Amino acid sequence: MTQFQSIPSLGLGLGTKNRAGAWLEVFYPQLWTAPPQEVLQALAPLLGETGKNQTLSLDETKLANLKEVLRPFEWAAEFCELAQRVQGTGVEARALTLVWHDQEPLDVPQIYLNLHLLSSRAVKPHQINLSGIFGKLVNLAWTNQGPVELTELDQARLTARLKGEVLVVRSVDKFPPMADYVVPKGVRIADASRVRLGAYLGEGTTVMHEGFVNFNAGTLGQSMVEGRISAGVVVGNGSDLGGGCSTMGTLSGGNSVVISVGEKCLIGANAGVGIPLGDRCTLEAGLYLTAGSKVNLLDGQGNLQGQVKARDLSGKSDLLFRRNSLTGALECLTNKTVIELNLALHKNN
């Protein structure tokens, strides 16, 4: 079980509420990780118990109070500047949000702050608690005029037409495109609709048109992504995912193992990864490697050394997985140390 650190983060955000006053989404132009204890103590009269996740809707009075509380702290100059710019603009959906990285988020503003922290690289995948977020997020129409609740979509279309405008629905989802909220430094994204908010893209990553990156997942460095990085999957620096390939996630199908790909790996076109890979591993194009796959182990001369299940090779480096074109058998070329280790695991079989 993942052990999250008890670290706080603060966010000052502007969002959208429905007609009933419920939060739909929040954009955080200002966030800060691990503020000093004296800052949290100063915010306690506004937020209440700052040892727990908190969301404060800011009316004009509370916004003014926030500026006064933060004014003595030099680091908070950008927070104060944003509060000043927002004041009196007519934007009513404003939130001051505090999340602790080891606590389950309680509402939409807290979830969005967590997702911002990931996409802005303030935290890495699996470093922050995202338990239960699907049940708390709202399925929205993401349009060229912002998010719209589905029950209000027909009226929004009509309103736009009456103004001589067209409301374009780009997606209907619980997660917005990351690029509408955060664009981290040094990345290329060919189709922004295919990278969800909460994705973590390392500097130097390119996501091509058919690439997809889910939330709480992504790349740690320079990678070419032409396949799918499912929720929870982390890809190491220098690894490439070929066109149409996939990585098995943990959201469905009963898979409880978190898949990862090490550094300098190559996942061939239309291949699939169902086990964690170490560094410098290669999967042949079209080969889907599941945990239960029977794998023939070959030495450097192509001699059979034994057979294991793919799960027994989890996390091992310098492996080449291929399909024998004559027999159809799944083969792995590896080094002698890995072969001996995995054969030892099967002595009692």
Question: For the chain, what percentages of helix, strand and coil (3-state, to nearest 5) are there?
Answer: 25, 30, 50
> For residue 175, how far is the Cα from the chain centroid?
10
- Residue 209: name the closest of 228, 223, 237, 222 by CA: 228
243 labelled binding-site residue: yes
The response to whether 210 counts as a known ligand-binding position is yes
- The question of whether 38 is a catalytic residue gets the answer no
Q: Is 121 annotated as a binding residue?
A: no
Q: How far is CA 279 from the centre of its chain?
A: 22
Q: Do the annotations mark residue 322 as ligand-binding? A: yes
Rounded-to-integer distance, Cα 266 and Cα 240, Å? 5
Does 71 appear as a known binding residue? Answer: no
The token pair at 52 is 């727990």
Number of neighbouring beta carbons within 10 Å of residue 180 = 16
294-298 and 240-241 strand pairing:
unpaired
Q: Is 230 annotated to bind ligand?
A: no
Are the C-beta atoms of residues 230 and 251 closer than 8 Å to each other?
A: yes
Beta-strand pair 266-267/288-289: unpaired
The alpha carbon of residue 241 and the mean position of all alpha carbons in its chain are separated, in whole angstroms, by 17
**Vertex 117 angle, CA 113 and 121, to 5°:** 165
228 is in an annotated binding site: yes
- 193 assigned ligand-binding residue: no
3-state secondary structure of 104: coil
Residue 271 assigned as binding residue: no
Of 68, 78, 92, 226, catalytic: 226
Cβ-proximal residues to 30 (8 Å cutoff; 6+ apart), any chain: 11, 12, 13, 78, 79, 82
284 among annotated binding-site residues: yes
Q: CA angle, corner 229, sides to 102 and 33, nearest 5?
A: 30
User: Is 246 among the annotated ligand-binding positions?
Assistant: yes
As annotated, the active-site residues are 226
Annotated binding-site ranges for succinyl-CoA: 228, 243, 246, 269, 284-285, 292, 309, 322-325
Annotated binding-site ranges for Mg(2+): 210
Annotated binding-site ranges: 210, 228, 243, 246, 269, 284-285, 292, 309, 322-325
